[in-house]
C-alpha cells in the first residue's frame, strides 16, 4: 500500500516537473499542425496531477494549477491561456475559460491593525466550484470559495465576489447580474 502511494506521488512529481519545465511553454492548441499534439501533451501531464480529468479537456499554453491537488475538470472543458487555477477547484462539463483568468483560493489576513498585513498570513483555502456549461470571459477574477452556477456567462474583466445563480449573465467589478439567459 505504501509503495503504491509512493509511486503515485513520484509520478505526480515527475508530471509536475515536465509540465512546468516544458509543456506549459508549448504553443497554443490552435497553432496549425502542432497545436493538437501539444494539447495532448499538456492534457496527459495534467491528468496525472489532477484528482479527476474528463474527456476532451484542453489545458492551454501557460495555464498554471500548482501541483493539481484536488483539481477536477469535466468533459469538454478548457483552462484558458495563462489561467491560474488553485488546488481544490472543481470545473464542470462544457466550461469555456478565456485567457488570463485567475481563481483565488485564499486571501491575506488583515484584521490585526497592530501587525503589518504582510506578517498576518493567509486565510484558510476555500474550494471554488464552477458548474456545467459555463463561459468565463478573458481576465475574469474569481475570489475564494465562490460557486458559479450552471449555464452562467461572466463577461471579460469581471471580478466575482459572490456566488452566481444558474443561467445568469454577469459582468462588472463586482460582477452583477445583467440578465438571465432564460429571458433571452
Angle at CA of residue 74, ends 73 and 77, nearest 5°: 85
- Domains defined for the chain, CATH in brackets: 54-183 (2.160.10.10)
Query: Phi/psi of residue 89, each to 5°?
Result: -115, 130
Per-residue confidence in pLDDT tens, the chain, 184 aa: 577 778 889 999 999 999 999 999 999 999 999 999 999 999 999 999 999 999 999 999 999 998 899 999 999 999 999 999 998 999 999 999 999 999 999 999 999 999 999 999 999 999 999 999 999 999 999 999 999 999 999 999 999 999 999 999 999 999 999 999 999 8
State the pLDDT at residue 2.
77
Q: How far, CA to CA in Å, does 67 sit from each of 47, 73, 157?
A: 11, 14, 26
State the pLDDT at residue 1.
59
Catalytic residue among 36, 40, 52, 108: 108
Nearest to 96 by CA among 75, 126, 67: 75
Reported as half-sphere exposure (CB side, CA atoms, 13 A), residue 108 has a value of: 8
User: Is 108 tagged catalytic?
Assistant: yes
User: What letter does residue 59 receive in the DSSP assignment?
Assistant: E
What is the rounded distance in angstroms from the CA atom of residue 84 to the CA atom of residue 99?
Answer: 10
Amino acid at each position: 500500500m505504501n509503495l503504491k502511494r509512493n509511486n503515485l506521488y513520484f509520478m505526480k512529481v515527475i508530471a509536475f516537473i515536465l509540465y512546468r519545465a516544458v509543456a506549459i511553454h508549448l504553443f497554443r492548441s490552435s497553432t496549425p499542425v502542432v497545436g493538437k499534439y501539444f494539447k495532448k501533451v499538456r492534457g496527459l501531464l495534467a491528468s496525472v496531477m489532477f484528482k479527476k480529468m474528463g474527456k476532451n479537456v484542453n489545458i492551454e499554453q501557460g495555464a498554471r494549477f500548482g501541483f493539481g491537488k484536488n483539481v477536477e475538470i469535466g468533459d469538454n472543458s478548457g483552462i484558458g491561456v495563462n489561467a491560474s487555477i488553485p488546488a481544490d477547484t472543481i470545473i464542470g462539463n462544457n466550461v469555456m475559460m478565456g485567457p488570463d483568468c485567475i481563481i483565488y483560493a485564499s486571501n491575506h489576513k488583515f484584521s490585526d491593525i497592530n501587525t503589518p498585513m504582510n506578517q498576518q498570513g493567509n486565510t484558510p483555502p476555500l474550494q471554488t466550484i464552477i458548474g456545467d456549461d459555463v463561459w468565463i470571459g478573458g481576465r475574469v477574477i474569481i475570489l475564494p470559495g465562490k460557486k458559479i452556477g450552471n449555464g452562467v456567462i461572466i463577461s471579460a474583466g469581471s471580478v466575482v465576489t459572490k456566488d452566481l445563480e444558474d443561467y445568469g449573465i454577469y459582468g462588472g467589478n463586482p460582477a452583477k447580474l445583467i440578465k438571465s439567459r432564460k429571458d433571452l
